């Protein structure tokens, strides 16, 4: 089948002058987006000399040209590697070398940081906001490009090489084909009841599949309009909701917290939003209820880099009736809940989530060992624990690697974290295990609290009668903030190191 760049060409044929992308006060119509893709493809083929299967990295903030690059790469059969700009230069260099990129297109500050790092042999550096030293400037290269070559991309070609967040060990590159992006878009359309009349506000980083693929690429598939912010800023989000009147947007728990605490929250008009999507594992129920109180239904989505990401989701009609649920199995997805032996489990029994579907990654880049461990007979082993009920609604429990085995009992930290969040004065928290000579491991609460408002005794007493005693935190470590990755997920490896170094509280 054809490459996915034809989405833009066809939409330009239907409504050439319709806004496709709005960014920093400028508007790119569908006709303008199609023309820009032609020029980008010509530049990649000509000046960069990229050929079918070559990798092109993007190291920068959200920008229309990242989407232009994605569709130009699809046309040529290239692979885009979007990098997390929050990583350190050595981490960027590792990914660039692991992927063997032919070129890196980056904002100047990241090229400056990379100056002392070894890059792949022959890797071209292209600056987005140039000039920078002797580096090529993206705008100059695109402006000078000739005629776009004939399409060489195919629907089965790899298109995205998305590196996992790296919460443990080195990041792995999940390989997503053009077909995976297309089927993910169809799942998204069903999830949101999305149409060409929708206006999507994208503020999450598009180096992650959440920012790129939950709503953004599906909107461009349909011919909807995307308002793009270079980075998330709560005041800018609220202003855009007031001024641009979006119908759809996505936030994760960390950004929801920032928005609802902002001074402009109370005065913002949310009436244009049909729904707000969210995900990122556990979403605190109180965050959802705060948004529901403003008349905006919140729908959850579950997935990962390896699932493009949409696998399980709520639809708008479920938003108020199943608060806290991940939703139901997606339209073009299969899901199993299995035990440690791989046997299927019934309703109400927690087990590992396995996902299969045309939107699932084909494996990890140049990593047959990890691919074999995570992908079996078309099923992706997520490493996440969930259960489903008699209605087919799925409920997230925790990451398998986060489960604490204490005296032979499984403790799911997310369960205790929900109890912690009920305590007034606690701003953020997580539960991790600490080695224990008697029990093997015990749960420890790591808490960010308003100064002087919460004590260890407050936490201990709050758990009484709410959870079984073996699930109660045996210690509390107070910190100023929790280490998190770019999507607001707590870095459990770093928290575990903090707990291991902390002095144990008196019994």
The gap between the terminal CA atoms of the chain, to the nearest Å, is 66
CA distance 248 to 188: 12
116: confidence class by pLDDT, cuts 50, 70, 90: confident
Q: What mean pLDDT do residues 405-422 have?
A: 85
Q: Residues 426, 417: contact at Cβ < 8 Å?
A: no
What pLDDT score was predicted for residue 408? 75
Q: Residues 41, 54: contact at Cβ < 8 Å?
A: no
Dihedrals phi, psi of 252, to nearest 5 degrees: -105, 170
Q: Which residues have CB under 8 Å from 122's CB, separation 6+?
A: 102
Whether residue 166 is predicted with pLDDT greater than 50 in this model: the reply is no
Highest mean pLDDT among 193-202, 446-455, 497-506: 193-202
Rg (CA), the chain: 23
Q: Which residue has the tokens 């004065």?
A: 425
**pLDDT averaged over the chain?**
93
Whether residue 478 is predicted with pLDDT greater than 90 in this model: the reply is yes
What pLDDT score was predicted for residue 168? 42
What pLDDT score was predicted for residue 104? 98
Q: Residues 246, 225: contact at Cβ < 8 Å?
A: no
Predicted confidence (pLDDT) per residue in 37-49, tens digit: 999 999 999 999 9
Q: Which residue has the tokens 């100059």?
A: 140
Specify the domain boundaries for CATH 3.40.50.12780 within the chain: 1-154
What pLDDT score was predicted for residue 413? 87
Highest mean pLDDT among 330-344, 405-419, 465-479: 330-344
What pLDDT score was predicted for residue 406? 87
What pLDDT score was predicted for residue 507? 44
3-state SS string for 66-88: HHHHHHHHHHHCCEEEECCCCCC
Please give the share of the chain, as a percent, with pLDDT higher than 70: 97
Instruction: Please name every residue paired with 426 in a beta bridge, in sequence order, or none if there are none.
Output: 449
CA distance 30 to 13: 8
Torsion over CA: 353, 358, 363, 364 (sign): negative
CA distance 215 to 406: 41
167: confidence class by pLDDT, cuts 50, 70, 90: very low
Burial zone of 475 (CB within 10 Å; 0-12 exposed, 13-18 middle, 19+ buried): buried
Between CA 250 and CA 254, with CA 252 as vertex, the angle to 5 degrees is: 140
Q: What mean pLDDT do residues 265-282 have?
A: 93
Q: What mean pLDDT do residues 411-426 have?
A: 89
Q: 248: number of CA atoms within 13 Å, CB side?
A: 25
Multiple choice CATH, 403-501, 3.30.300.30, 3.90.1150.10, 1.10.10.10, 3.40.50.300: 3.30.300.30
Homologous superfamily (CATH) of 1-154 is: ANL, N-terminal domain (3.40.50.12780)
- Cβ of 194: how many Cβ atoms within 10 Å? 21
The number of angstroms, rounded, from the C-alpha of 24 to the middle of its chain's C-alpha atoms is 23
CA distance 218 to 8: 11
Predicted confidence (pLDDT) per residue in 438-472, tens digit: 888 899 999 999 888 899 999 999 998 888 888 99
Please give the share of the chain, as a percent, with pLDDT higher than 90: 80
Q: What mean pLDDT do residues 313-322 have?
A: 97
- State pTM to two decimals: 0.87
Structure tokens at 260: 């609802």
Q: 122: number of CA atoms within 13 Å, CB side?
A: 9
CA distance 478 to 357: 43
Specify the domain boundaries for CATH 3.30.300.30 within the chain: 403-501
504: confidence class by pLDDT, cuts 50, 70, 90: low
CA distance 479 to 495: 10
Q: What mean pLDDT do residues 178-188 have?
A: 98
H or E segment and range at residue 203: none
Predicted confidence (pLDDT) per residue in 219-262, tens digit: 999 999 999 999 999 999 999 999 999 999 999 988 998 999 99
Q: Which residue has the tokens 């609802």?
A: 260
505: confidence class by pLDDT, cuts 50, 70, 90: low
Predicted confidence (pLDDT) per residue in 8-57, tens digit: 999 999 999 999 999 999 999 999 999 999 999 999 999 999 999 999 99
CA distance 438 to 217: 52
Structure tokens at 447: 């808490």
């Amino acid at each position: 089948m054809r490459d996915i760049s034809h989405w833009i060409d066809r939409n330009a044929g239907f409504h050439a002058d319709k806004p496709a992308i709005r960014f920093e006060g400028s508007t790119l119509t569908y006709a303008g987006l199609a023309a820009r893709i032609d020029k980008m493809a010509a530049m990649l083929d000509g000046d960069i000399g990229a050929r079918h299967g070559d990798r092109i990295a993007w190291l920068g903030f959200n920008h229309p040209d990242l989407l232009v690059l994605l569709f130009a790469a699809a046309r040529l059969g290239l692979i885009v590697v979007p990098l997390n700009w929050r990583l350190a230069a050595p981490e960027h260099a590792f990914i660039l070398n692991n992927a063997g990129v032919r070129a890196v297109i980056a904002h100047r500050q990241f090229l400056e940081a990379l100056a002392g790092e070894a890059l792949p042999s022959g890797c071209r550096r292209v600056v987005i906001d140039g000039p920078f030293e002797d580096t090529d400037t993206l705008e100059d290269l695109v402006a000078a490009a000739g005629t776009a070559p004939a399409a060489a991309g195919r629907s089965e070609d790899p298109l995205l090489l998305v590196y996992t967040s790296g919460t443990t060990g080195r990041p792995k590159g999940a390989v997503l084909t053009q077909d995976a992006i297309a089927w993910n878009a169809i799942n998204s359309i069903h999830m949101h009841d999305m149409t060409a009349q929708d206006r999507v506000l994208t503020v999450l980083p598009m180096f992650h599949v959440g920012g790129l693929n939950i709503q953004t690429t599906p909107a461009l598939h349909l011919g909807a309009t995307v308002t793009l912010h270079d980075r998330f800023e709560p005041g800018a989000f609220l202003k855009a909701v007031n001024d641009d009147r979006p119908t759809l947007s996505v936030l994760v728990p960390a950004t929801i917290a920032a928005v609802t605490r902002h001074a402009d929250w109370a005065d913002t008009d949310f009436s244009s939003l049909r729904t707000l999507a969210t995900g990122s594992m556990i979403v605190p129920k109180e965050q959802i209820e705060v948004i529901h109180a403003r008349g905006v239904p919140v729908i959850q989505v579950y997935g990962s880099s390896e699932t493009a990401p949409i696998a399980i989701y709520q639809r708008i009609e479920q938003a108020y009736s199943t608060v806290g649920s991940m939703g139901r199995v997606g339209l073009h997805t299969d899901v199993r809940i299995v035990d440690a032996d791989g046997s299927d489990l019934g309703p109400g029994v927690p087990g590992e989530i396995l996902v299969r579907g045309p939107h699932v990654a084909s494996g990890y880049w140049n990593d047959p060992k990890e691919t074999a461990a995570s992908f079996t007979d078309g099923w992706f082993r997520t490493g996440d624990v969930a259960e489903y009920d008699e209605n087919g609604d799925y409920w997230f429990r925790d990451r398998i690697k986060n489960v604490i085995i204490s005296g032979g009992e499984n403790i799911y930290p997310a369960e205790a974290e929900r109890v912690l969040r009920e305590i007034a004065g606690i701003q953020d928290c997580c539960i991790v295990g600490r080695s224990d000579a008697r029990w093997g491991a015990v749960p420890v609460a790591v808490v960010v609290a308003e100064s002087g408002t919460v004590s260890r005794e407050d936490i201990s007493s709050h758990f009484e009668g709410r959870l079984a005693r073996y699930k109660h935190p045996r210690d509390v470590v107070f910190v100023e903030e929790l280490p998190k990755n770019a999507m607001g997920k707590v870095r459990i490896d770093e928290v575990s190191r903090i707990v291991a170094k902390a002095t144990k509280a008196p019994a």
